[in-house]
Amino acid sequence: MSKKIKCGIIGCGVIAPSHAGGFSAIEDVELVWACDLVKEKAEKLASKYNIPKVSTDFREVLADPELDCISICTDHASHAPIAVEAFRRNKHVLCEKALSSSKQGLDSMFEAHRKHSNLVFGAVFQNRFNKSYHLIRKLVSENAFGTILTMDLQFHCLRTDAYYDSDEWRGTWSKEGGSLLINQAIHFIDLLNWTSGGIKAVFGTYSNLTHTDHIETEDTAVATLRFKNGALGTISATSSSKLEWDQTLSINGSKGSLDFHNDKILRMNLDDAALADSVQAEMEGIENEKAENSVGKSYYGPNHGSQIADFIGAVRSGKELFVKAASARETVEIVLGIYQSHREKKWIKIS
C-alpha cells in the first residue's frame, strides 16, 4: 500500500472546493487541515469534506510534522509568504493562480524553492489540461498554419460591484495585484502564451470604466504583443461585459487560420484540407468526452481534478509536473508587464 499523503488547504473561499474535491477523489490522499482567516469558512469546508483540523493561522498548519503538502487558495499577495514558509517547513506546494501579485513575491517564492529543490512546486493553470488546447499547441508547433502572422485573444466576463465588495482584497493593488488581467483573463493569457510558444514583449494599457466607486484597479485592458515565433498579436479584455464568460483565440498564418470560441471551432481554414477534417473530428471527439464539472463554478472547467492528480503523482513518485511553477511564472510576468507598460508607457520585455 502506498503511503497516505496528508494535505492541507489554506484559503477556504470560492476556489477551495475545487481543490478539496480533487484531493478527496485520489486514493491514499487525506485532507487533514482547512485554514482560513475567517474561521467559519474553514469550518464550512471542513464539514463538507470531513477535514479533521481547522485553523485561522497558516503557520499552525505548516507546523504539523505529518503534513506533506498544501494548496494555497488565498488572495494573491499572500501566496508568496505562505509558499516561502511552506518550503522552509519542508512541505510540497500547489499554488493557485496568480502565483504572486508582484515581481518581488515571485522572486521570494523561487528563491525559497531553490533552497529546497527536492520539494514539488506546482502552479494552477487547470485549462492546460484541456485536450483542445493540446491540439492547438500541436498544430502551431508543427507549422499547420505556416508562418504565424497574428495571434489574438478576446476575453469578456461580468464582475459586478457586489462581487468586488464581497471580499476586501478584491480590486486592490496591494492584495489582488490588479483585477481583470491577474484574476480572470490570466487563464487565457496563459493559454495564448503556452500554445504560441511564448510571448517576448508587451505594450499595454488599462482602465476602470464601470467600477470606479468599488475598485482601484482595472476592469478593461488591451495589449499589443510580440511573440517569440515572430508573430504579432493582441489581447482585448473586460470584466464589465454582459457576456458572463466568453473567450476567443484567433490564429492567422500563411497556410491557414483558426477562430476558437468557448472551446469550439468557430471558423477554420487550412491549406491542408485532410488535416482540417481530422482536426474538426478530433475536436468533436474531445467535446463529447468532456466530463461534467461537479465542483465549483462551470467556467472553472473540469480539470482541477486532473491537475491535482498530476501534483500528487509528482509528490508520490518525483515525476515531472505537467504545469511547472517556472512556466506559470511566465504568464504572471506577462500580466505584470502589461501593468508596467501602462505606467511607463513603453514596451516591456518578458524574461
Each residue of 218-239: pLDDT tens digit? 999 999 999 999 999 999 999 9
Looking at the chain, the whole-number percentage of residues with pLDDT higher than 90 is 93
The per-residue pLDDT for 292 is 47
Task: Let me know whether 188 and 114 are in one domain.
Answer: no
Closest CA to 234 of 321, 332, 148, 151: 151
- Among 2-11, 41-50, 287-296, name the one with the lowest average pLDDT: 287-296
The per-residue pLDDT for 3 is 83
CATH number of the domain bearing residue 147: 3.30.360.10
- Domain range for residue 142? 130-291+323-349
User: 21-35, pLDDT tens digit by residue?
Assistant: 999 999 999 999 999
**CA 334/CA 189 separation, integer angstroms:** 8
Is the pLDDT score of 143 beyond 90? yes
The per-residue pLDDT for 295 is 53
Task: Let me know whether 121 and 139 are in one domain.
Answer: no
Given pLDDT bands bounded at 50, 70 and 90, which one contains residue 207?
Answer: very high
Q: How many CB atoms lie within 10 A of CB 233?
A: 22
Domain boundary among 79, 97, 126: 126
**CA 29/CA 39 separation, integer angstroms:** 24
Task: Let me know whether 262 and 159 are in one domain.
Answer: yes
Contacts of 203 (CB under 8 A, 6+ apart): 223, 224, 341, 346, 347, 348
Is the pLDDT score of 302 beyond 80? no
SS3 (DSSP) at 46: helix
Task: Let me know whether 97 and 191 are in one domain.
Answer: no
Task: Let me know whether 31 and 157 are in one domain.
Answer: no
Given pLDDT bands bounded at 50, 70 and 90, which one contains residue 290?
Answer: low
User: 95-137, pLDDT tens digit by residue?
Assistant: 999 999 999 999 999 999 999 999 999 999 999 999 999 999 9
- Among 1-15, 122-136, 173-187, 315-329, name the one with the lowest average pLDDT: 1-15
The per-residue pLDDT for 293 is 45
Element containing residue 241 per DSSP (H, E): strand 240-253
Average pLDDT, the chain: 95
**CA 211/CA 215 separation, integer angstroms:** 6
The per-residue pLDDT for 1 is 46
**CA 203/CA 183 separation, integer angstroms:** 19
297 part of a folded domain: no
Given pLDDT bands bounded at 50, 70 and 90, which one contains residue 299?
Answer: low
Domain boundary among 107, 126, 145: 126
- Give the residue-averaged pLDDT of 237-254: 97
Task: Let me know whether 151 and 270 are in one domain.
Answer: yes
Element containing residue 204 per DSSP (H, E): strand 199-207
Contacts of 183 (CB under 8 A, 6+ apart): 76, 98, 176
